[in-house]
Structure 1
Amino acid sequence: MKHDTRLYRIPLMTAMGLIMALGVWILWSWQGYSERSMDWRRQRAQDSFATLNAVIASMSNGELTDWKQIETVLSSVIRGSRTLFVVVQGRHGRLVQTGTMPEFLMTNSTRGEIQTDDLFVMWSPLQPSHIPANWTEALESINLGLGLWPRSNPVMYLGFRSSTENFTSSWFWQRQAPIFASALVCILAVTAVWITGIRRRILAGELASERIRSAHLEELGLAAAGLAHETKNPLGIIMGMAQQIEARHDIPAESRAMLGYIMDEVDKASSRLGNFMNFARQRKPSLAPVRIDRLCHEVAHILGPDFEAGGVELLSQVKATSIYADEVMLRQVLVNLLLNSLHASAAGTTVRIVLGRQGRRMELCVEDQGRGIPAELLPDIFKPYVSGSATGHGLGLAIVKRVVEAHGWKISARSIRGQGTTMTISGIKPARETS
């Protein structure tokens, strides 16, 4: 059974909204983690800067500082650490350089930081030792005269190894992935349960409708049987009496013509009664392998004289194929569809029977080049007593639909006014011949 997918729109949209919210939460958490990692990296760099600044300040003596000695000490301090280079840039040139500093990192600013994929660099002016507030404090200070740099305040550049974390391989994702996966599974599970509940309610409603429909059809079949029993005998008596009167030679010609009309109307009534009984009767198809190509050619041969009389060409373009069907019921369907196409076709046109593939199933089409079906009538064409012909009883296509659905197939109509109509039976299961 095909259901309207719009019924599932609310649960699907809710699931999509929850998944998007989950994604936003993951992104927001990742940004917070990245910011905290950056703050941690910056704090470590500042601690290293303070340590090296203290080393330089303890070894400096103003303008008479021995920078070569400081460079040697700094090289031994950073050896084996995450610090890649230390550069002290004075007013008149470079005072200290340990490691290799990329030239593009040189800047005119005296304070800042740069983050690349594999490098974190920060720079800031060297901080002098604490300046005593008075002479007594100066005499007691152990740093008297050290690291003051009265005429030049050098800038120190520090470079550190800093590999940018990949989201999927980061510690953050390793910790958050199970939470994200669990939340996603819960969302999908709830959505599936929600959709299943909707589907069950729909199926329950359809089953209840089908039970009511079956009960109604059963009552209709019983009524049809009673109607046939009560009507056939009077119709037979009327027909017999009319034939007896017509056989007499002494009746006027006008009476004879009226008897002909009476017998024609009795024939029409009997035919419509038979069609009504066929529609009301619930018959279960007896499925068996049927050579659809042979059946189509056989029906085309039987109806050939009618098509020749109407000047309409009938072509059966069906290759050798076996399908599962009730042969008698399928023959009835083909006859009804082909006669409808014949009545709608003008002389010189063509009616085709075509069998094609639809995935693993087959579809059988009856195509004509007739007058077509009015657009306003097309949605109701398979309902009882709906006919596009003034002389039609409106049960032919209703019977066809009943037989098609009894097989588990589907039938649809496609028509363009003045160009023709195509009736398509789909969902036909192919069968392998066991000869």
Structure 2
Amino acid sequence: MNLTQNISLESLEEALAILPQEASPVLQLNTMPTRPTPFCVEAMTVQYIVTAARRFGDRLVSRFMDLGRTTAHFDDALKKAFGNPHMLVAWVMANLAEDRAGAKIERSVAAHFNTYLDAMESYDFMQTHGTVEFRANLVCVQRAQREYVRSLYAQVGGKNVMRPYPEIRLVVQDILSQLAPRWNGQQLRDIAGPLARLVRELMENADWWSRTDVNGALYHNGVRAVTFRLVDLDKGNLDVFAGANSHLQAYLASFLGETSRSLHGDRPTRTFIEMSVVDSGPGLARRWLSSREDWKSVSDPLEEVTVEEESAAIAECFKKWRTSSSDMNRGVGLFAVARILRERNGFMRLRTGRLAYLFGTESAIRDVEGRASNARRVDDYAFLGDGTHVFFEDSNVNFFLRPWSDHRCAVAEGTSYSILLPVRG
């Protein structure tokens, strides 16, 4: 398993497809990825690492090919490396960490991550990573002493719970003010509100469902992470951030006809917030299917169903008032996420189990709305012939999940959301 080259969504999906045939449980990767990273790739990289870890269990070795245990700058390089989510996840999920020569890296050096935890908990968000990017990382390491970072969680009755929306909104507004100090108050409030709702709904969903397997057993290790990245996009770097993906290219290109001026010149530009949310849990469909009365405990739900049944299970997770929890106050989280994305002209890539979906692009929205107008609806929902799930509200298309491609995906552990929101200038 080699992630040391320039990676893309396509190469990661190809690597997942051959993962079952991998003979060696050694994952080779660099601590510092090539910058800039294309949109959606960071979340998928973390998900690939999680998948490898769940497959190989305590045999997985993470080998960091740009680290030398005996070099003079090893300690500084490792400290900087812990500010990269994929490196931290590889460290947490593997049984053993090695340098490029195969020399063991002692677990005690993980104390370097405390520097970034301190930054997360003291609201010094520009110091939550070791890069020059305008970004912020909030990472919860399962079973760690400080798993519940205080910027996201509060103690209520002796339990750690997600902070209420007004508090999360202030946290997100603080993050944005540090990423974009030139923004005025209106710009900060305009984007902080919807981002905060996305953060709270997706992280609470991950907190609720990703810490245990389908049998309810607490995972020995795991992560829940949300990252933010601010990117100024223009025609000069469009291909860099969109990669070879036609969906991203179409979505991003549609914004560059506007006349806002770039900080780097007079070329039309548009600012985007990329938010990645990743967990190391069973995935949406597994969790939903394991809640059925006819599910047999200890088995893998995905091994017993077709891809079509898995797809239907994912759709259930996005329907309003659906929940696999016994708590009937839940069941609006993912539906709320969907509504926000539609209202804010956002883009989303969802990857879970054997499936990948997208929402966004003007052409996809027009196409889905046109075909959905004649589709048979049941309870404000329709399923189109190409595998698209359509969700209605007040007789209008509120949201959809369109298959990412015509190719069937390999099984991925956990769930990842890559979300893009344009900033209104």
TM-score (norm 1): 0.26
Q: Which has the higher contact order (CA 8 A, sep 6+)?
A: 2
Q: Which has the larger radius of gyration?
A: 1
